[in-house]
Structure 1
Amino acid sequence: MSVQSDTSKGMPGSWQPAVTSDPLLRKHGALGRPISRVDGPLKVQGKARFAAEYPYEDICYAALVFSKIARGRITALDTAAAEKAPGVVLVMTYRNAPRMKAPSLMMSSPSAAGASDLPVMQNDEIHWNGQAVAVVLGETQEQADYAASLIAVEYAPLRAVTSFEEAKRKPRQLETLLGEPPILEIGDAEGALKASEVQVDNIYRTPRYNHNAIELHAATAVWKGDELRVHDATQMIDLTAGQLADIFDIDPSKVRVTSPYVGGGFGGKCLWDHQILACAAAKLAQRPVRIMLSREGVFRLVGGRTLTEQRVALGANADGTLNALIHTGIVAMTLHNSCPEQFTFPARHLYAAKTFRLAQEVADMDMLVNTFMRAPGEAIGTFALECALDELADKLGIDPVELRKRIEPENDPTSGKSFSSRHLLDAYEKGAKQFGWHRRNPEQRRQREGEWLIGMGCATATYPYYRFPGTAASIRLTANGRVTVSTAVHDMGMGTATAQVQHIAARLGIPADRINFEYGDSALPRGVIAGGSTQTASIGGAVIAATEVFIEELIKLAGNALPLAGLSLADVEPRDGGIGHRDDADRFETYESILRRSGRNELVCQAEAPPPAEMEAFSMHSYGAQFCELRVSEITGEIRVTRFLGSFDAGRILNAKTATSQFKGGIVMGIGLALTEETNFDERTGRVVNASLAEYHVPVHMDVPQIDILYTDVADPQAPMGARGIGEIGITGVAAAVANAVFNATGRRVRELPITLDKMI
C-alpha cells in the first residue's frame, strides 16, 4: 500500500510553521545524544564507495587540457600526437563534442544547477585562464594524462579585464542580492555618522579563497541508450539530474544521479564543466567514463570565494549606542555567474542602530566564476563588521562584549520582524565565563611571555536560517517492524544520516537501530541541496509531513477495532514502536500489530513539506560568540593561535557529537581564512599561480589549537525539531576574533586578510 499527500489541501501532512505544539520540543530520548555516525563502519572498512570508485566493465579515464590565456579564441588545435598515443580511446574538443545546451545558473529555475551559464566546449571561445579545451580518454589514467600533454594549442588573445582596480572603475549594480535588495537604507546614515560623538570608518579587504575538499571533484558517467547514469561528488543531486537532462535534451526521468558519500563540499561540489564533459565524452565514446580532477584541476575549473573591498563606518554615542551603521563595498564577479558574496547580510540583522546604509556593487572580470564557499558573504562580512565594532569599543573604552550587549536589538533592526529565537547574549555570557575573558587586559601589548605578545579577541558569529520548499520524504514500514525513510538529500560528512535517524526514532517512537535512512539518489523523493545550512530544517519539515500521513494511514488500517477505534491524528502520539492515545496508556497498538491485522506486508507513505512560511513571519538566524587567544612573536611576526572557544545559539542540537565536529570544522576553516589561505591570482595573465596544496596553505595540525564548543541548545519554536542549521555558522566571526586578538596583543590593526608575517613586521 502506498499513500501520498498533497499538502496544499491541508490535512493530512498539514504541518504549520508555528510548531510550538511539536512534542519533540518537550521530549529528549534519542534526539541530541552523541551517537556515532551510522555510516562510520562502512567508511572505516572502505566499503563506502565515492564517485570515482564505482567499477564498470570497459571503463576509460579522462584527462583535461586547460587554456593558458584569460580571453580569446583558439586558432590552432593539434591533437594528432595525442590520438596516436598508446591507450588513447578518444580526444574530444569543441570540434567533435556533442551539441549541448548551456547550463542555467543555479537559482534561476527549479532545475538549474550551473555555476556558470557559459556553453561547455561548444566553440573556440576562451573565457578564463584554465578553461578546458580538450578531453582525452585513455584505457588508464596515466595514458590519458600523457596523451593530454601532447596536445598543442594556439590562441588569438583578446583584451581581458584581469585587474580588480581596473574592473572597479566600471561597477555594476545587481538587480537582486540573493533575493534581497542590494541597497538597504534607513534614515540618513552618512549624516548621522558625521554628527556622532565617536566614529569608525575604515576599508577592509579579503582575497580570493579556493575550495580544497579532501575528496577531489569526480564523476563516473555511463550511458545506456538514451539513459544517463552518473555517480557524482555533488551536493545538489536533484538539480544536477535535472540540469544534465536539459543540457543533453533528454527526459529528466532518464537521468539518475547518485551521491551517497561526498568527501567534503562546503559549496564547491555543484555542477561544473568536468561532469558535463565526462557525460559528453561517454556519449561520444559509447563507454563508461571516469573523471577525477587533479588538485591543480580543481583550481582551474572550480570556483571559490571572490575578493572583496568593504567599507564599514559606525557612528556612536559615548555610551556605545549606534546612530549609524554603514556597510558597503564591491566584489569581483563575472557576467556568467550568480554568487555575489553577500557580505552586507550580517549587518542587516545583528545590531540596533538609528540609521543604516547597506549596499554592494560588482566589478566584472575575465576569470573563473566564483561560487559559494562555506558561509558565503557572512564569513567575510563578519570580518569587516566585527573588526570595526572592536575598533569602536577601543575608542569608547568599553569592553567589546559589553558593547555588544548595549546594541542588542529587541526585534530585527532592519525588517522589524520578531526574532523566532535569539539567545546571543546568553552565548556570550557562557562563552566569556568559560574562556576566561575577564583575564583579558584591555590595553595592547600588556601581556607577554618572552618574545611572545599575548592577546584575546572576540566576535559575533551569525548565519541565517533557511528551509527550501519542495522537499519530500517517504516512510516505508515492513511487517518485521523496520522503517525506511527516503529522500534525495546528501551527507558530505556532517552527519545528516545520523541526525535524521535520531530524529525519526524520536518522531516515530522506535529504536534507532530499526531505522534505515535512505538518501543520495535522485530516484528517491525530491530532496534539497546541501547548502545554505538548509538540509536539517528542510528534511525535518518533510519527515514531519510524511509522519502525519503515516500515522493517519495506520489509524485507518486499525479500523473500528479496539484499542484505536474512533481516534484521530490529534488524539494519538507515536511511542514504544506503535501509536497510542495521548491520555490513555491502555489504548495502544504496535505498528507491526496494525499491519498484521490489516493483512498487509508493508505500508508506504510520502509527503512534501509545506512552504517555509516561518521565514516570512520571523527573523530567523543562528548566532554565536567566538573567542580567540593567540601569541605573536615580536621578532618574526609569527602568529600562533593558542586557544579558541565557540559558544553557539543554533536552536536544538540534534546530535552533540556531530554538531561539535561541525562547529570545530568551521572554526578550523576560519583560522585558515584569517591566517594562511589566499589564492594568488596573477593579474597580468588571469592565472591562479598557487594551484596546489604545497602553495595554497590550508591549516594543518600545528596551526589548530584546542577548540572548545558550547551551545545553548534552546529549541527554536518556529523550526522543525526546533533546530536551525549549523554547517556554516562555525566559520563566521572567526577571522575577526583572530584579528581583534592580534590587535590586543600587538596594538596593530590588520584590515586585510590573510594576516601574514609581512603585515606584522
Structure 2
Amino acid sequence: MNRAQSPLGQPLDRVDGPLKVRGQARYAAEFDVPGLLYGAVVSSAIARGRVLRIDSAATEALPGVHLVLSHLNRPPIASYDEPYEDADAAEGSPFRPLYNDRVLYSGQPLALVVAETQALARHAASLVHVEYAAESHQTDLQAVREQAHPAPAEVPPPRGDFEVAFNAAAHRVEGEYGTPVEHHNPMEPHASIVQYQPGGELLIHDKTQGVQNCQRYLEQVFGLQDRIRVLSPFVGGAFGSGLRPQYQLPLAVMAALALKASVRVELTRQQMFTFGYRPRSIQQLKLAADGEGRLQAVEHQAIGQTSRFEDFTEHEVEWSGMLYACDHVRLGYRLAPLDVYTPLDMRAPGATIGVYALECAMDELAHEVGIDPLELRLRNYSEINGNQGKRYSSKELRACYRQGAERFGWSRRPAQPRSLREGHELIGMGMATGVWEAMQMPASARACIDADGKLLVTSATADIGTGTYTAMTQIAADAMGLPMADVEFRLGDSSLPQAPLEGGSATVSSVGSAVQRACAGLRQKLLDAAQQSPASPFTGASPDAVEFIGGRMCLKATQHAVELKRIVEVSGALESEAHVEPGEQRQQWATATHSAVFVEVRVDEDLGTVNVSRVVSAIAAGRIVNPKTAGNQIVGGVVWGIGQALQEETLIDHRLGRYMNHNLAEYHIPVNADIPGIEVIFVEEHDSVVNELGSKGVGEIGIVGVAAAVANAIYNATGKRVRDLPITLDKLL
C-alpha cells in the first residue's frame, strides 16, 4: 500500500455494517443472560402532587412476580440525599427515581414491577393502583413567560449601544419565533440489563452515549466503587437522549441489588416521552441595517422551558452575536420552570432553534432592504467571532455560499414572492447559514500490535450510528500503514481508555486525535524494537527517516523494509497508550463548522400542503475522514431539519400536563415520500489549529439552518411568513 492508497478521506463502507445487516450486532436489551428477570415501570398519571398509597396486592398475587419496588421499599442508596451529578447534568438537583412520595411531572416512574417474563411484568404493572393528592400544575411556557428568570448560562455581554443604533438605522425588522417541544425518538428504546455477579459486581449493558459517564454515576449514587462495568457496543440511535443516564438504569440496579439477581428494564415507546427533550422556546429578534444592508444592530432574546428541579441551558442566542459582523449586539436568555422533566441536549442543541430564528429574521431583513438574501449574508460576512473578538482558525463559508448556490441554481430564484408556479403549485426557494462549534475534549486511546501484524485499537467512546467504528479504523490504518482488514477498533466498554461523551460533533476530533497519537507511539516502539540489533539497517534512524506502508516499516533512504509482524515476533506484542487534550494554540482562535443550505419547496395553493423538492447543503468542516459516512450524517440532519420545519412537535394537554402524541403513529416525522434528493457538498477546508487531524466533525451541522431555509422558501413561494414551527397547512391556509 502506498500513501496515495491511504484509507483516510476515502468513502468506505462501514466496518460494522455486515454485523448489523446480519442481525449480529447486539443492542442493550438483546444480551442473553441466565436467570434474567424483567422489569416494567409504573408511571405517574398526574403532573404534580403526592403519592398517598400504592396498592400492589393484585400484582404481588400473580405467580412469577418477584418484586414491586417503590420509594417505600427501595434499597438504601449512598448519595440520594446528597448532591451528585453526571457529565451532562444541568444546574440544580438531578431527578432521583423512587426518591420520595413527590410527583414532579406526568409520566414520572413511581414503581418497578419485576417478573419472570417481559409480558408478565407489563401486565402486572398495569394492576398497580396508585392514589394521589393532586396539586395544581403549570406546563405552558406561554402562560408564564413573564415570570422567567435569567438562565445560568454564559451569555456574551452586550457590545456597543443597541438602542441608539437600532433607532437610527434605515431598515428595521422585528419578530417573535416559536419552536415546540421535540422528543428524540431513536429506533432503539432505552434499556438496561444489570447482570448480578458473584461477589456483588455488576456487569451492565446500557443504551448510552458514554459508558464511563454511566459507570461514574452509578458508583457515586450506589457507592459501588470498582464494582461496576458498563458495556454498550452498539446504539440504535440517540441524538442526545443517551448523554445522561436515564431512569431505567438506576431502577434496574436497584432491583438487581434487592433481588441479588440479573434484571432487564426496557422502556416502552410511550415511556420514551417521560425524560429529556428539546425544550419549547420563544425568541424575539430585532435586526437593523443601513441602506446597503449592512447590519447596524442585533438583538436576540430567548425564553426556554425547564423543570422545577434543574435549570437546563443551551447555547441559543450566542449565534446571533458571532455569525455576522455587527458592532451593536444585545443578547438575553431566560428560563421558565414548569412541572415537566428537565430538557436534554438534542441534535445541535441551541443552534437548531437559535439559528432558525436568526436566519428567518435575516431573510425578512433582506426583503425589507430589497436585496438578495445571499447577498445580504455576504455583505455582513465576518472573519472573526464577534462574541470572542477572535479570528477563526479556518472559515470557508464563502465557498459554501458560492458552491451551494451554483449547484442549486440560486441565480434563478425569483425575488418577488408568488411569482413562480407550476399548475396549482407555488414554487419557492430559500436559503440559510448554518454554524456549530468545532470542539475537542480530553480523550485517550490504546494501540496494540500482535505477532500476526494485526492492530487492535481501543477507547471507551461510543458509536450511536455515526460511523465511529469506521472512522477510527481508517485513522489507525492510515497512521500505521496497514490495510483496513488488519485493524480492529473496540469501543463501548467502561474498562477501556478514557473517552468523552459522544456528542457535540467532537468524537473524531477528540478520540480520533488520541488514536492517531497512540499509533504514533506504537510506531516509535516498533522502531525502537527494530534497532535492538546492532546490525539492523534501522540503527540510528530517526522517526522521520522511516515510513509505514503496507504492513511494513521502510527506511526511506535505502528502501529497506521489514514486516511489522517480524518485529513483533522477536519483541513480543507491543502497545502504546496516548492521552490528548485541546492544544494551547486553540485559545488564540475561534473554531467552528459552517454551512450554507439551499431549499426549494412546492406549496399546493388550494390545500396548503408543502413538499420540499430539492436541497443542497454545502459544508465546511475541515478534513473529512470518510465522505460516505459524513455525507450520511449531513443527509440525516437535513431530513430532521425538514421534519422540524414541517411536521415535528410533541403536543401537550395543559389541563392534564401530559404529552398526548407519545407514539410513532401520532408524533410526525418524515418518511421516504417526504424527502427529495439531497445533495451534499464538502467544501475543501484546511485547519491545523482545531486538532492534529484537522477535522471539525459533522454530526450536528447538518440540521442547523435547514428549518430556516424551508421557512424562507415557503415565504418566497407564498408571500406568507409563518414564524412558529412546525409550518403545518392550517397555519398556511
Gap runs ≥5 in structure 2: none
Look up the match of 1:645.
616
Task: Using the TM superposition, give the Cα deviation of residue 104 of structure 1 relative to its aligned residue in structure 2, in angstroms.
Answer: 9.4
Find the counterpart in structure 2 of residue 705 from structure 1: 676
CA distance in 2, matches of 1:742, 1:400: 14
Deviation at 1:276, TM superposition (A): 0.9
Structure 1 residue 103, shift from structure 2 partner: 10
TM-score by length of 2: 0.96
After TM superposition, the structure 1 = structure 2 runs for residues 239-250 of structure 1, keeping only pairs within 5 Å, are: 239-250=213-224
Is the aligned partner of 1:440 residue 2:413? yes
Cα deviation for residue 414 of structure 1 reads 2.2
1:617 aligns with 2:588: yes
Give the direction of change, closer, same or farther, for the CA distance of 1:568–1:680 in structure 2 (3 Å limit): same
- State the partner residue of 1:672: 643
AA aligned to 1:590 is: E
1:141 partnered with 2:118: yes
Letter in 1 for 2:213: L
* Candidates 505, 516, 521, aligned match of 1:549: 521
What residue in structure 2 maps to residue 453 of structure 1? 426
- Residue aligning to 1:188: 161
2:632 partner SS: helix
Q: How far did residue 329 of structure 1 move?
A: 1.4
- Structure 2 CA distance, aligned partners of 1:113 and 1:324? 32
Letter paired with 1:174: A
Structure-2 residue corresponding to 1:230: 204
Give the corresponding residue for 2:500. 528
| RMSD of aligned residue pairs (Cα, Å) | 2.0
* 1:259 aligned residue (232, 248, 262): 232
**Secondary structure in 2 matching 1:169:** helix
Cα offset for 1:410?
Answer: 2.4
CA distance in 1, matches of 2:558, 2:176: 65
Pairwise mapping of residues 67-106 of structure 1 onto structure 2 (< 5 A)? 67-100=44-77, 101-102=79-80
Shift in CA distance, 338/268, structure 1 to aligned 2, threshold 3 Å: farther
CA shift for structure 1 position 174 = 2.6
Partners of 2:538 and 2:14 lie apart in 1 by: 36
CA positional deviation for 1:736: 0.2
Is the contact between residue 259 and residue 490 of structure 1 (CA under 8 Å) also seen in structure 2?
Answer: yes
> Residue type of the partner of 1:653?
I
Identify if the C-alpha distance between structure 1 residues 570 and 173 changes in structure 2 by more than 3 Å, giving closer, same or farther.
Answer: farther
- Report the equivalent of 2:657: 686
Name the structure 2 match of 1:275: 249
Tell me the CA shift for residue 631 of structure 1: 0.9
SS of aligned partner of 1:154: strand
Aligned: 1:515 with 2:492: no
SS at match of 2:229: strand
Offset at residue 27 of structure 1 (A): 6.5
Q: 1:128-527, aligned counterparts within 5 Å?
A: 128-175=105-152, 177=153, 181-224=154-197, 225-251=199-225, 253-269=226-242, 270-300=244-274, 302-337=275-310, 339-469=312-442, 471-527=443-499
Q: Distance in 1 between matches of 2:394 and 2:83?
A: 34
The aligned amino acid for 1:339 is F
Residue 126 (structure 1) aligned to one of 83, 86, 103: 103
Q: CA deviation at 1:572?
A: 3.8
Per-residue CA deviation, residues 236-294 of structure 1 (Å, 9 max, x unaligned), is 1111111111111111x211111110000100023111111011112112221112111
Matched to 1:138, the amino acid is: A
* Distance in structure 2 (CA, Å) of the matches to 1:235 and 1:490: 6
CA shift, 1:111, in A, is: 9.3
Within the alignment, does 1:729 sit opposite 2:706 as a pair?
no
Alignment of 1:574-585 (within 5 A): 574-581=548-555, 584-585=557-558
Q: What secondary structure sits across from 2:186 in the alignment? A: coil
1:746 to 715, 718, 724: 718
Q: Deviations over 1:187-223 (max 9, x none)?
A: 1122211111111111111110011101111111112
Deviates more, 1:380-389 or 1:323-332: 323-332
Give distance in 1, aligned partners of 2:343 and 2:354: 16
- Over residues 402-441 of structure 1, what are the superposed CA-to-partner deviations in whole Å (9 max), with x where a residue is unaligned? 1111111122222121211110110111111111111110
Cα distance in structure 1, aligned partners of 2:157 and 2:562: 56
For the residues of structure 1 that align with 2:88 and 2:665, how far apart are their CA atoms? 37
Deviation of 1:558 after TM superposition, in Å, equals 2.2
- For residues 109 and 679 of structure 1, do their structure 2 counterparts lie closer, same or farther at Cα, with a shift above 3 Å needed? closer
AA at the equivalent of 1:666: G
On the 8 A contact 1:204/1:310 being kept in 2, the answer is yes
Measure the CA separation in 2 of the matches of 1:105 and 1:539.
30
Deviating more after overlay: 197-206 vs 714-723 = 714-723
Distance 1:218 1:679, change over 3 A: same
Of 35, 57, 60, which aligns to 1:58?
Answer: 35
* 1:231–1:258 contact (8 Å) kept in structure 2: yes
Partner SS for 2:693:
helix
Tell me if structure 2 keeps the 8 A contact 1:222–1:279: no
Q: Give the partner amino acid of 1:714.
A: E
**What is aligned with 2:598?**
627
The 3 A distance-change label for structure 1 pair 309 and 171 is same
Kindly state the Cα deviation for residue 61 of structure 1 after the two structures are TM-superposed.
1.2
2:730 pairs with 1:758:
yes
The letter of the residue matching 1:298 is M
Please tell me whether the aligned partners of residues 113 and 271 of structure 1 are also in contact (alpha carbons under 8 angstroms).
no
Q: Distance in 1 between matches of 2:728 and 2:314?
A: 23
Normalization by structure 1: what TM-score?
0.92
